[in-house]
Amino acid sequence: MNHIKLPIIVTLALTALPAAAQDPYDPDPRSVIRERVRDVVRRHVAVKEVTRAYQGRNRGPEQTERFSRKIKIGRDGRLALENIAGNIVVTGGGGDEVSIEAVKRTTGDSSQLASVHIVVDERPGRVDVKTEHTARNDRVSVDYTVTVPATAGVTLKSISGSVKVSGVQGPVRAESISGNVTAASTPRLEAAKSVSGDVDLSDAAADSDLNASSISGSVRAKGLKARALDLGTVSGDVVLLNVTCDRFNIRSVSGGVEYSGALSRNGRYDINSHSGTVRLTLSSDVGFELNANSFSGSIRSELPLTLGATGGGNERRRGPSHATRGVFGDGSAALIVRTFSGDIVIIKR
């Protein structure tokens, strides 16, 4: 499994990146990798032995066992679901009940199904669901399909499997070690993270800060609204389309960054990419002050800049250590873009 090999992959990445190929504007990418790994992986390292259960899933005829449960939690209740191996799909619905449908699967002996337990802990206004593997090295996975009251909140975690949540209006946190994370129509999204997988967000929003990240995968968002965004990937692209936020901090080590959306007056927008092109599609409604640096790429803007310190503004220029400082419009927003190996392009929306 990919997640078991992750420490080796990260170690190779740390040793392969040359410390000498840096400039004053770009942080050491090895520090960025360590930051993302610590942020997402450390909390799950204790269960790495259990994830071996997912190996060998497709080695023989499949045996299954079904689980079904309905629990009343109220319209503003909370669901927390933790899975070891298998997918999680959660959908917001009507009523005041949580409906849990689960399927245990194995390609080993059918007796292994009995060694995996779905533990449900009921409390007033809250339900906690956990998958417990009592046998060592079993080949059992569990796929969950859950419906919650639309206004409920959910916290979802899977070690080896994808997580998908849609139509949930309460607070949402979704994480996976090895699998994609997808959130749609979630107006109170708080976090969406994957170590080895893509993160896809659509028609989502956040009351305050939203954290979305992947180590080996891309982060994509469409129709996203938030007060502040903290987005990062080590190996993958960051693509934001039709996004509205007051500030963001975007980090990518190996991958491009694309942003299309509105800037807010007095907002602050910080992008740091080591190897990849940064492409910004901006409207002319809000002015900004640009501070752009690229060590081995060009800097180009379709929006007219009043140049301050150095740079060619609207001209495409190549050569070492390019830096452009300029103001568009009233300069009310702050736009800081740094890339070591890649172009910086600002396009008029």
Each residue's pLDDT tens digit in the chain (349 positions)? 343 444 434 433 433 343 334 443 444 544 544 554 555 444 444 344 444 444 444 456 899 999 999 999 999 999 999 999 999 999 999 999 999 999 999 988 888 999 999 999 999 999 999 999 998 888 999 999 999 999 999 999 999 999 999 999 999 999 999 999 999 999 999 999 999 999 999 999 998 899 999 999 999 999 999 999 999 999 999 999 999 999 999 999 999 999 999 899 999 999 999 999 999 999 889 999 999 999 889 999 999 999 874 444 444 444 445 899 999 999 999 999 999 989 999 999 8
Q: Pairing state of beta strands 257-262 and 225-235?
A: unpaired
What is the distance between the alpha carbons of residues 302 and 15, in angstroms, rounded to a whole number?
A: 39
Q: What are phi and psi of 333, to 5 degrees?
A: -95, 155
Read out DSSP for 114-136? GGEEEEEEEETTEEEEEEEE-ST
For residue 77 the two structure tokens come to: 């209740």
End-to-end CA distance of the chain: give it in Å, rounded: 43
Question: Which residues neighbour 227 within 8 Å (Cβ) at sequence distance 6 or greater?
Answer: 206, 207, 208, 209, 245, 246, 247
Neighbours of 14 (CB within 10 A): 14
H helices of 60-117, in order, are none
Closest C-alpha to 115, from 193, 198, 39, 53 = 53
Are the C-beta atoms of residues 128 and 64 closer than 8 Å to each other? Answer: no
DSSP-based three-state secondary structure for 38: helix
Alpha-carbon dihedral sign for residues 12, 18, 19, 25: negative
What is the distance between the alpha carbons of residues 183 and 202, in angstroms, rounded to a whole number?
A: 6
Closest C-alpha to 92, from 107, 108, 73 = 73
Neighbours of 85 (CB within 10 A): 28
